[in-house]
Amino acid sequence: MKIGVFDSGVGGLSVANAIRAALPMHEIILREDMANLPYGNKTPEQLLGFVVPIFEEMIANDCQIIVVACNTVSTNIIKDLREHFPDTPLIAIEPMVKPAAALTQSKIIAVCATPATLASKRYNDLKQEFAAGVTVLEPDCSDWSYMIEHKQVDEQKIAGRIAEVLAGGADVIVLACTHYHWIEEEITALAAGRAEVLQPEQAIIARMQGVIASIAF
Ligand code: DGL
């Protein structure tokens, strides 16, 4: 089966790599929108304008499933995209608020995400639904995807943000932007023994297996 994976940039590559490793029998078509990134400072209307033509192209290219490997897109416009493409299953990567809230002992979690994700209704609904009674710290990660995309990672800056949330008592850190996969190792090392770092790749692969099975039969 042909499966499309979409992100604004290198976050999509990390997800595509994980899917290719777990599901090697499927053909993974990766599309990135380098022309318009970063997405994290765009409006939902702008995002829709960027994404619809790319999904049309992937569907015309026989992708039977599209993995929305971009929290910014999923949290802002997934409903619009599902209305636009009712015949193609869209698997959305979203901030792992629910598992983080279930895991925390300190009742403090940190969510690292783009400004557009943090501002979205969907993300705020997730917090309300699953993290009532949990304090959610949202460190300023507004330039992280840009730094990662342009290979200009300022490790001091990232260490500073992680130190902040650890000092604030967070014992779970959610990587809610697929670009952050590329700094996951550093963050995990910084958080070692103090906080667990969650990222969505394995959960997405599990969800994909269900969707693939439902299409195949
Ligand atoms: N990788 C994207 C996400 O998961 C967005 C990065 C960006 O373009 O700002 O939110």
The answer to whether 2-93+201-216 and 97-198 have equal CATH topology is: yes
Quote the CA–CA distance of 79 and 101 in Å, as a whole number.
24
Q: Please report the pLDDT score of residue 217 as a whole number.
A: 67
Quote the CA–CA distance of 31 and 3 in Å, as a whole number.
11
Give domain 97-198's CATH architecture.
3-Layer(aba) Sandwich (3.40)
Q: Name the one residue in this structure whose structure tokens are 């994290």.
A: 40
Pocket residue to mutate for ligand 1, from 10, 72, 141, 143, most atoms within 8 A of Cβ: 72
| Residue 105 alpha carbon to ligand 1 centre in Å | 29
Active-site annotation holds for 177: yes
| Tens-binned pLDDT, residue by residue, of the chain (217 aa) | 999 999 999 999 999 999 999 999 999 999 999 999 999 999 999 999 999 999 999 999 999 999 999 999 999 999 999 999 999 999 999 999 999 999 999 999 999 999 999 999 999 999 999 999 999 999 999 999 999 999 999 999 999 999 999 999 999 999 999 999 999 999 999 999 999 999 999 999 999 999 999 987 6
The fold for domain 2-93+201-216 equals: Rossmann fold (3.40.50)
Q: Which atom of ligand 1 lies at the shortest distance from residue 176's CA?
A: 4
Active-site annotation holds for 70: yes
39 lines ligand 1 (CB under 6 A): yes
120 lines ligand 1 (CB under 6 A): no
Q: Please report the pLDDT score of residue 216 as a whole number.
A: 73
| Residue 41 alpha carbon to ligand 1 centre in Å | 9
Gyration radius (Cα) of the chain, Å = 17
CB atoms within 10 A of CB 90: 20
76 lines ligand 1 (CB under 6 A): no
How is residue 194 annotated by DSSP? T
Structure tokens at 20: 């290719």
DSSP H helices, the chain, are: 10-22, 44-60, 71-84, 97-103, 115-119, 121-130, 144-149, 155-167, 184-191, 201-216
Q: Please report the pLDDT score of residue 21 as a whole number.
A: 97
| Residue 10 alpha carbon to ligand 1 centre in Å | 9
**Polymer length of the chain:** 217
Q: Can you give the pTM of this predicted structure?
A: 0.96
Structure tokens at 59: 């569907």
Pocket residue to mutate for ligand 1, from 6, 7, 32, most atoms within 8 A of Cβ: 7
Structure tokens at 57: 């192209």
38 lines ligand 1 (CB under 6 A): yes
Phi, psi of 28 (to 5 degrees): -105, 120
| Amino acid at the residue 11 | G
Q: Please report the pLDDT score of residue 209 as a whole number.
A: 93
Q: For residue 77, which of 57, 47, 49 has the smallest C-alpha distance?
A: 47
Sequence spans of domains, the chain = 2-93+201-216, 97-198
